[in-house]
Structures are given as structure tokens and as C-alpha cells.
Amino acid sequence: MKSVRIIALRRDRKRLLEHLQDSALVEVKTGTKTEEGFRRSDKTAQCKQFERNEELTGQALKILNKLSPEKKGMLASFKGRKVIDPDEIGKIAADSAKIIGICQKICKIDKQRADYAAEQVRIRTLLAQLEPWKKLDIPLNTKDTVTTAVLIGSLPKPYDNTTLSEALAKECQELIFEFEILFSSPHITCLILFAPLKQKEEAEKALRTLGFSQPLNPTSRTPEVKAKRQIEKSEELRKKDEEAREELLSLARYRDQICDTQDYFRLRSEKYRVISELDQTDHVFVLNGYIPEEDCEKLQALCDKAATCVVEFEEADEDAPVKLKNNRFAEPAQSIVTMYSAPSREDIDPTPLLAFFFYFFFGMMFSDAGYGLLLVLATALLIKVFKPDKKMRNNLKLFQYCGVSTMLWGLVFGSIFGDAPAVCYKLFTGNSITMKELLPWPILDTQKDALTIMILSIGLGMVHILVGMGCKFYVCLRQKRYAEAFFDTGLWMLLLCGFAVLAVGMVTAPVVMTIGGCIAAACAVGLILTQGRGKKGVFGKLIGGLASLYDITSYISDLLSYSRLLALGLTTGVMAQVFNMLSTLFGTSIPGIIFMVIIFLVGHLITIGLNALGSYVHTMRLQYVEMFSKFYEGGGRPFRPFSTRSQYFKTKGSNDDE
């Protein structure tokens, strides 16, 4: 990575920034101090306006997508952004004011519909409150007459005429009253009570004792009339809401233009944020940033073409970002590395090693030639048909390479859709045959040769761990930490190699076992003498060295983790064989063939889905936990170039292919 400084005439600023944005070559430094004699333009207001417009278009799209989802196929997410001519951006800009007006209208109509919905809820609540009072033929807020007190309300218990009369008489024996129960349920009794006006206080007191409460929303009309008007209002609101909905549906035809406009404002916002970081005078401006070393010549050519300017390159400082660059084989695995953390300046790029082991282990876990072939063909077809953007294309390439590895391991394990060839042979000929007999090359059966595969898995795990430790050894040498390289890493590597030789000698020759034992013993002594070198005193150094040998348990634990290579491979094979067996239950009759095809397809789709996910997750775990823990620090900042960062379109000739 290099630091770059571009000095150009201010009149060329617009053209140069547009070229830089399309090229996506430079990351602009932010937060730096203004150089003496220069000033900066405050573009905060413009950026906020662009961000508001971007948010508004996003809200409008959300409303339209909720009301009228865009018809997309199941595989639409693989499709890349549409490519437009740079001149079309001018047209999008010219139409942006109109589209913003449409977005505002969409949001306004949606708010009206929300208000209608809230009013409908209020009406339903009011109708529910009026329901118990339907029999009442006078208004709920009826006042007392000259001689009679009128009390309308409810009691929190069920009553009938007898029990209510008894309850009122018990509370006030002198009370003269007449009542009508309008509604009764286990939780409430609605009633109207008449009493002499002079006994109103006694009547109210008696009712309060029973828990009497007046209606929440007394009206000047009868409940029946009030309910009828509310129903009419609800119908009117429904019609208005339907009209508003139809209007929104008619505005859905602007969806593509809204998408383009959102990208336009995203592009503008990014550009103005960069302008805010430029040091400027009345005649010149200065752009400071970072650029990958291999792109320096491209930038120089671009600047010479776009403007009269001076381009200076220097060694990058400690805050420089990190951009990974790998060949076609390793590049798809960069997403796995960055998912963990971008490498720091002290790290090496682990992508090539991770790519090899990721493809290798994934294939060993998925381990079926038929599944691998499907994976290769499916990813190739998706890339060919949908022409996805770089990020999605790399993800598909990752699984394509994993599919190749899966095919190879499937041939090693003799698994082609499980044991489908052998099952079909038996079904149609009546003669039993195994995959080992059917295939013309020697195979490892995941069930019968489980011990062999387990030893192979542990051996591969040993290689994987040693590669990780070798990376640590190299990093220490590069940083001139020689003691750490030889004593803390080199001795452990030799110790593990000694144990490996010892294990091989146990099944081959005693002399090999002796050699392995001697190597392991010598390394153990070396660790005891060197691992406590940071302690004080001879005794402290010795104890520290002895204690370090306890780390052998963690290495044993790491090695045992690779048994999942056998476990996942065994799971894939057994599940496939079970579905193959189920598919043949009804023989070779026509219904049996139909049943076989259905079970075969559904069963193997389930097996592919579950085991591909398991293989992906567990392969990542082996990289992150077992290998990366040996040498990788991470913590780097990914390179984020000044680019369009668009979601829906990219300009023809643009380098923005993320």
C-alpha cells in the first residue's frame, strides 16, 4: 500500500473526482488536519440533504415493496447490477426532483393510510363499547327529569332482575327504584335505573357500593344511531383507504427510477464527503489518500488523462488500510479471511493457505462425487446466466472450487449420490453389488474403513497445524524476533513432528519409533530450558519451562478436532444411503418408480442442504480456531476506495465491481 497525494487545478476538480470515483482506485484520507495556507469546504449541509433524499427514496421503496412486492425469481439475488452509460446519470439527475416529489407523495399517502387504519381501530373499539347498550332507546347522556333521576351505567358482576333488586334493597331499604337490565355477562351488567329525584344521592350511593360506573363515552344519540353512524364512517374510511392503495399501486411504475435516484444520491453523498476532506485554495486542491502499489501506474495514467495535476507516491503510514490481492484460485476465499478480520501490517496474507485447506476440508466433509458435480454445474450456470457482481461471483467461485474438491473426495470414498449406482444395479438386476466392486479403482469406505479415515484426518490435522505454526515462524523471522521463532515455535513444531514419527514407528519399525522418541525428548528438554526465559531466577525459569509442557494438551485437543472430517463425511454418506434404500421400497412398478424418483430427489436435496451447511461451518471452524490461532492476529482495516457504492446500477467502464 502507498500513500498518494494529488495536486490539481480547482477547475478540474469535478472531472477528476468523477474519474476517481469510477475507477475505485484510491481511498481518501479522512480526519486529517488542514495544511497551512489551505482551507476546506464545509459540505455538511449538502451531504445531509443527499442523505435525507436517499432515506426518503429508501422509505418509498419500502412502502412500495410491502404493498406490491417486486416479482423476482428465487435466484434473483444472484443477478448483478444493471450497467448504464455514464451519460444516463445526467438524465437521472435531471429527473431527481420529480422522483423526490413522487417519493414524498408515496410517503404522504402511506401516512394517510396509517391514519385511516388508526381511525378504524378507534371505531371498532367504540362499536365494541356500544354493543352492550344496543337495547337502550335513549341517549347514554340522558339527564334527569324534573321528578326522576336517570342513572345509566354498568356493574362488574352478573345480575338478573331478582338478584339486583335484592342487592339494591339491601343497600338502601327506603329506596324507591325501577330498572331495566340491558345486557348481562359473567363480567358485566349494563342497566338503566330510575328513582325519585329526591332519592338520587341514596341511589348513587347504593350503586357505587355495588361497583357502578358510568359509560366511558356517553353520547347525545341513542347507541343504535351512534353505532350506525360509526359503521357508515368506517365504510367511508375503507373506500378512502382503497383509493389511496390504488394510487400507491399506480405509483409503483416508478420503482426502477426511484432505485436509480437512490443510487444517484448515494453517489453524490459519497462525492461531497470526499470534497469536504480536500485541502483547497482559490486555484488548486489537494487530495490525500491510499492506493495499492500495483495500481499506481493506473492512477497516474488516469490523472494525466483527466486533468493537469501532480501525483506523488510515498510509503504508507501505520494507519494504511489493507487490500488483499490473490490469484483466481485463492481470491474467492478472501471473504472467509475478512469475515474473521483483515490482516494487520504485521501479518502475512493467509488467503492462499486458507483457500487450499478450505477447499480440501470442505470436499472431504461433503465427500460425494454426485453432490460435487451438482455444485460445480449449479455455480457455473449461475455465473453464466446472471453475471453477478464481483462479491457474489467470488462466493459462487468459492463453492465451485469446493464442488471440485467434493467430486474428487467422493471418488476416493466411492460415493456417487451415496451408493445410488449399486442400489440401482440391484433394483433392476436383482444382484447385489458394492461400490467397491462397481468402481474400477480402490476406494475408502467411510463405514468399513473408518479407522483408516480417522488416522488420515488426524494426519491432515497435524499438517494443517504445522502449516499454521510455520506461518508464525516466518512472521517472527521477518520481524527479527529470532528467540520467539526458534524457541516458542520451532521447538513445538519439532516436538509435534517427533510425536508423529513416534506414532508412525509404532506401526512400522522400532527404529523409526526410537528416532521419533529422541526428537520429542530433545525438543521437550529444549522447551523446559527456554520457555521460562522471561522469569526471574533459575528456579523460576525451570518451573516456567516445565509448566509450558502442559500446552501439549491443547495441541492434542486441536488434533482431535479434525475427527469431524470423518464424522461429516460419514454423515453425508449414511444419509444418502438411507434415502437410496427408502426410494427402492416399492420396487420397479410404475408407482414404485414414481415413488423412487420423488424420494430420491427430496432425500438428496435434504442431504445436500444439511451437509453442505455443516461442511461450510465446520471447515471455517477448523481454519479460525485450529489454524489462525497459531499465527494470525488480524485487526487490519479493509481498503475502502472512493467509489460509487451503488446498489442498483454501475456505469459502463467503471471499476466498481464489488
From 257, 269, 91, select the one nearest 648 (Cα to Cα): 257
Instruction: Give the tens place of pLDDT for each residue, 569-620.
Output: 899 989 999 998 888 888 778 888 898 899 999 999 999 999 999 999 999 9
Per-residue confidence (pLDDT) for residue 355, from 0 to 100:
94
Per-residue confidence (pLDDT) for residue 376, from 0 to 100:
95
Distance CA(10)–CA(309), nearest Å, equals: 10
Tell me which DSSP letter residue 297 carries.
H
- What's the pLDDT band for 658 if we cut at 50, 70, 90? low
From 585, 169, 615, 151, select the one nearest 372 (Cα to Cα): 615
Least confident residue range of 81-85, 160-164, 491-495: 81-85
Three cell numbers at 68? 406490491
- What's the pLDDT band for 653 if we cut at 50, 70, 90? low
Instruction: Give the tens place of pLDDT for each residue, 508-567.
Output: 888 888 888 898 889 888 888 888 777 777 777 788 778 878 888 888 888 889 998 999
Average pLDDT over residues 199-225: 88
Q: What pTM, to 2 d.p., does this model score? A: 0.81
pLDDT > 60? residue 162? yes
Instruction: Parse the chain into domains and list their residue ranges.
Output: 1-38+279-321, 41-132+227-276, 141-214, 337-443+563-631
- What's the pLDDT band for 99 if we cut at 50, 70, 90? very high
Per CATH, 1-38+279-321 and 141-214 having the same topology is answered yes
Instruction: Give the tens place of pLDDT for each residue, 5-57.
Output: 999 998 888 888 888 888 888 988 887 788 888 888 888 898 899 999 999 99
User: Please, what's the b/e burial string for 58-90 (b: 16 or more CB within 10 A of its CB; e: otherwise)?
Assistant: bebbebbeeeeeeeeeeeeebbebeebeeeebe
CATH 3.40.50.11540, applies to 141-214:
no
Least confident residue range of 251-260, 378-387, 420-429: 420-429
Instruction: Give the tens place of pLDDT for each residue, 323-343.
Output: 888 899 999 999 999 888 888
Per-residue confidence (pLDDT) for residue 479, from 0 to 100:
87
Distance CA(619)–CA(566), nearest Å, equals: 12
Give the pairing type, strands 2-9 and 284-291: antiparallel
CATH class of 1-38+279-321: alpha beta
